[in-house]
């Protein structure tokens, strides 16, 4: 595909600065994200004719799909790596392979409410009252800088929450005098907190004195021909520079869900393909998401005249399905969605769908930055310069899309029949060949991947898939964030499960008296008291 005038003109405005670039296809979907020391040089390489002569099929497919691109400048390479990772995790571009997992960059945290605070490494930032520093793009550098900081300010590196004299006898840090040993009252807690605050200042960038000291030692070692020591000191200075380098805190970069160039044309073609009396104004799409049978959820997205209507998105957490069964999950979702909608239609005093109080599992995604401005959307369709206003009350969809083949479709049709809603057009879209399955039809429709109707259905299906996966990820993250007990020294899975079985939640465990905690298997008086102090030190978590 030859370079377009739009791409050529835009390339001339790209700066020679470090940053992150995002390639987008003709629908506006982000398909690849990369970082660069020099944005103009790196982005322009994608459009060099010589690069297209290579045998890299993936690269050629990427360039063929690029319709537009954006970029974001940063101050240095570390910032570009952090921003690239965040954007890839958010947009999941199909041409990216690395950085798509949920692994985060390292953070340093310290809880000043602990009896003897210590600096620890973590990958998850929680709202637990701790101080967090980072993220750090270079994990090796931050680990070595943490060791340097502990030795410089005599900070403890042991794991026990309440170290005591018996721990000190086996403490390597204390024996090597890398720690002032507050556990045996060598210093008071107030004196030790001053050491911790000095470490906090170190992480905030107050390192001039230490840098001068390391540079002086490095020059002295080089003068004495001790090049090995000089190299170690040089590396320590580099680690110190990387760890204390100031980086920006990037806010979420708003991107709207891609829409077609002419949604109304796609709707008319879809109506003709399905034999509908008129193009479907309201399309509702459903998808199921789970990981090995855990956190089974489903989503419903709503499209109005070919465009996302996020105020009418819904999401469900399965109540009757406990195993990995997409058919049963789809049946429950359809039953819950349309039995409720049917009740709303029968009650003329029911508020609109957008303002109806939702059940907990039907809550709408809170993403105002994704909403589509009405003016911009209307201007996208020259064939229809305006979009009809969404109806003020509840209304049945003109078309239901099920992500799946005949199995999911038949389950959905059976539930609609029970509710007396069999007259609503419904179809299933199978992923492998993008086949359209219709009720009562033996053979599926295969209009082809170039069909505008198929592309519209793909957009609905992909948005339902994204919405379901987002909800599933939120539930998994919530589960992870509830595992504060993992930080309590000496607790294993068996004891943690015993506590949660007995009290049900961390909140109930906090208010439980010590004598009730002592009754849990594996807990005695000493450990129950230690756990109580541990939770008291993390009141905000």
Backbone angles phi, psi at 62, to 5 degrees: -65, -50
**Residues 391 and 442 both lie in one domain:** yes
The reply to whether 321 falls in a domain is: yes
115 plus 215 within the same structural domain: yes
More confident residue, 385 or 248: 248
Give the three-class secondary structure for 31. Answer: strand
Residue 137 lies in a domain: yes
Query: What range defines the domain where residue 215 resides?
Result: 106-243
Residue 331 lies in a domain: yes
Same domain, yes or no, for 427 and 404?
A: yes
pLDDT (mean) for 168-191: 73
Q: Tell me if 256 is assigned to some domain.
A: no
Task: Dump pLDDT digits (tens) for 277-305.
Answer: 999 999 999 999 887 667 889 999 999 99
Domain limit, last residue, from 56, 91, 126:
91
Coil, helix or strand at residue 251: coil
Regarding whether 454 and 330 lie in a shared domain, the answer is: yes
Of 40, 64, 91, which closes a domain? Answer: 91
Count of CB atoms situated within 10 Å of the CB of 169: 10
- Residues 231 and 380 reside in one and the same domain: no
189 in the same domain as 316: no
Same domain, 503 and 446: no
Q: What is the pLDDT of residue 402?
A: 95
How many Å apart are CA 352 and CA 342, to the nearest integer? 13
Distance CA 388, CA 263 (A): 13
Q: Do both 174 and 281 map to the same domain?
A: no
Q: What is the pLDDT of residues 349-398, one digit of tens each?
A: 544 443 333 333 444 443 333 333 333 333 333 344 456 666 667 889 99
Which of 391, 426, 459 is at the close of a domain? 459
Q: With cut-offs at 50, 70 and 90, classify the pLDDT of residue 175.
A: low
One domain for residues 135 and 74: no
Residues 174, 39 within the same domain: no
The reply to whether 253 falls in a domain is no
Where residue 85 sits, what CATH number does that domain have?
Answer: 3.40.1440.10
Domain co-membership, 518 together with 487? yes
Domain total of the chain: 4
Q: What confidence tens digit (pLDDT) does each residue in 476-495 have?
A: 766 654 567 777 777 777 88
Tens-digit pLDDT profile for residues 314-341: 999 998 888 888 899 999 999 999 999 9
Q: Are 344 and 407 within one domain?
A: yes
CATH number, position 490: 1.10.150.20
Are the CB atoms for 133 and 145 separated by under 8 Å? no
pLDDT reading at 270 higher than 80: yes
pLDDT of residue 384: 41
pLDDT in tens, 14-36: 889 899 999 988 777 889 999 99
């Amino acid at each position: 595909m030859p370079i377009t005038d739009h791409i050529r003109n835009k390339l001339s405005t790209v700066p020679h600065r470090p940053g992150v670039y995002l390639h987008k296809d003709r629908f506006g979907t982000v398909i690849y994200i990369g970082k660069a020391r020099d944005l103009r040089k790196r982005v322009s390489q994608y459009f060099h004719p010589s690069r297209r002569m290579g045998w890299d099929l993936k690269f050629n497919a990427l360039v063929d799909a690029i319709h537009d691109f954006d970029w974001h400048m940063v101050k240095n390479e570390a910032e570009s790596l952090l921003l690239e990772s965040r954007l890839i995790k958010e947009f999941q571009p199909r041409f990216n392979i690395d950085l798509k997992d949920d692994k985060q960059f390292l953070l340093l945290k310290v809880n000043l409410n602990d009896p003897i605070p210590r600096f620890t490494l973590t990958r998850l930032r929680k709202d637990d009252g701790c101080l967090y520093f980072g993220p750090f793009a270079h994990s090796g550098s931050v680990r070595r800088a943490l060791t340097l900081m502990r030795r410089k300010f005599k900070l403890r590196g042991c794991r026990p929450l309440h170290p005591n004299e018996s721990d000190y006898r086996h403490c390597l840090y204390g024996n090597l005098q890398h720690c002032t040993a507050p556990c045996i009252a060598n210093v008071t807690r107030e004196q030790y907190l001053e050491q911790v605050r000095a470490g906090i200042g170190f992480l905030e960038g107050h390192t001039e004195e230490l840098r001068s000291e390391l540079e002086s030692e490095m020059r002295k070692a080089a003068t004495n021909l001790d090049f090995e020591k000089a190299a170690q000191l040089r590396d320590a200075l580099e680690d110190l520079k990387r760890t204390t380098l100031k980086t920006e805190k990037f806010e979420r970069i708003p991107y709207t869900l891609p829409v077609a160039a002419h949604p109304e044309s796609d709707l008319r073609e879809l109506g003709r393909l399905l034999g509908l009396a008129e193009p479907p104004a309201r399309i509702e799409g459903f998808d199921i998401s789970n990981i090995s049978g855990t956190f089974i959820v489903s989503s419903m997205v709503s499209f109005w005249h070919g465009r996302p209507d996020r105020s009418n998105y819904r999401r469900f957490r399965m109540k009757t399905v406990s195993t990995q069964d997409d058919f049963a999950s789809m049946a429950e979702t359809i039953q819950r969605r349309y039995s409720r909608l049917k009740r709303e239609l029968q009650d003329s005093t029911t508020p609109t769908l957008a303002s109806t109080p939702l059940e907990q599992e039907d809550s709408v995604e809170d993403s105002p930055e994704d909403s589509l401005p009405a003016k911009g959307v209307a201007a996208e369709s020259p064939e229809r310069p305006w979009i009809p206003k969404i109806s003020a009350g509840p209304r049945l969809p003109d078309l239901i899309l099920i992500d799946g083949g005949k199995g999911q479709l038949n389950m959905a049709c059976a539930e609609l029949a029970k509710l007396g809603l069999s007259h609503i057009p419904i179809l299933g879209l199978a992923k492998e060949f993008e086949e359209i399955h219709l009720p009562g039809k033996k053979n599926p429709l295969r209009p082809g991947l170039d069909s505008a109707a198929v592309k519209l259905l793909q957009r609905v299906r992909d948005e339902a898939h994204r919405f379901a996966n987002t909800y599933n990820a939120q539930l998994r993250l919530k589960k992870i964030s509830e595992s504060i007990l993992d930080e309590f020294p000496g607790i294993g899975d068996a004891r943690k499960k015993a506590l949660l079985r007995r009290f049900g939640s961390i909140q109930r465990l906090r208010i439980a008296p010590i004598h009730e905690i002592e009754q849990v298997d594996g807990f005695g008086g000493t450990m129950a008291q230690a756990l109580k102090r541990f939770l008291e030190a993390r009141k905000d978590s």
